[in-house]
Amino acid sequence: MTGKEIEKLLNEIRNGTKSVDEALEVLKDFPYTDLGYARIDHHREIRTGYPEIIYCAGKTIEQVTGIFGVMAGKENNVMGTRASSEMYEAVKKIAPETIYFAEARIISLCKKTPEIPDSSIAIITAGTSDIPVAEEAAVTAELLGNKVVRIYDAGVAGIHRLVDKLPEIRKCRVIVVIAGMEGALASVVGGLVDKPVIAVPTSVGYGANFGGISALLAMLTSCSSGVTVVNIDNGFGAGFSASMINKMK
């Protein structure tokens, strides 16, 4: 429930189109619903501007389905990250309009259309192998109400592929750079643009990459100003942060 929705409810009470009892029925599970295994935070959208998002990994199919069912009943947009196709099939049985983004591993149920600003978010990958993390970031940003420009396979081994896209990148308000191996692309992009850069290290790479730690450390020690870093493979965190920046007034 958003602040605007609560304001509408209060105005309906004031003008007599809704009774106090009817309003209490709407608010009976506010600010959260307790399912025993999860307490669903219906108050989050008022506090942060975004509804609660389900991290599906580590949850059972029944738990994911139960959470989706409660949130869908509140007419919220529902998003589940790191979700399997089996989870999607189960959720779809209770909410047929659910969509699954397989590469991003995101389940989405859209109940209302978010406001979309004119500005865009650029999502850039160093290589093709980084695309699954990039899609998690891109789909997250789009579902939260943003236009996304995807630029994939533009790593430092062929820097001309990035340079060709600079005019398009510079029109965006915030840039997400996703790279494994040595993670150099974030520093390069940070030195070429006047926009905030969110760097995402990925676990892509050979043994000395240490599952993404080499890219993480390279990004953390970047000499380019304006580069911030999220956790390894955390496309969702990057997409969410990029959305917050893109929607700032």
Q: Beta partners for 109?
A: 78
- Per residue in 32-86, pLDDT tens? 676 778 777 776 777 777 777 889 999 999 999 998 888 877 777 889 999 999 9
Give me the sheet containing 54-55, strands edge to edge.
54-55, 78-81, 106-109, 99-101
Over the Cα atoms of the chain, what is R_g? 20
- Decide: 78 and 41 in contact? Cβ < 8 Å: no
- Per residue in 27-42, pLDDT tens? 655 676 767 787 777 7
Counts of helices then strands in the chain (DSSP H, E): 11, 11
Q: Which of 174, 171, 179, 136 minimizes the C-alpha distance to 154?
A: 179
Domains of the chain: 31-109 (no CATH), 120-246 (3.40.50.1970)
Burial zone of 105 (CB within 10 Å; 0-12 exposed, 13-18 middle, 19+ buried)? buried
- Per residue in 2-30, pLDDT tens? 566 677 778 888 888 878 777 766 665 56
- Per residue in 232-246, pLDDT tens? 999 999 999 999 999
What's the mean per-residue pLDDT of the chain?
A: 88
Per-residue confidence band for 155, with pLDDT thresholds at 50, 70 and 90:
confident
Amino acid identity, position 117: P
Amino acid identity, position 33: T
Q: How far is CA 89 from the centre of its chain?
A: 21
Q: State the pTM of this model.
A: 0.84
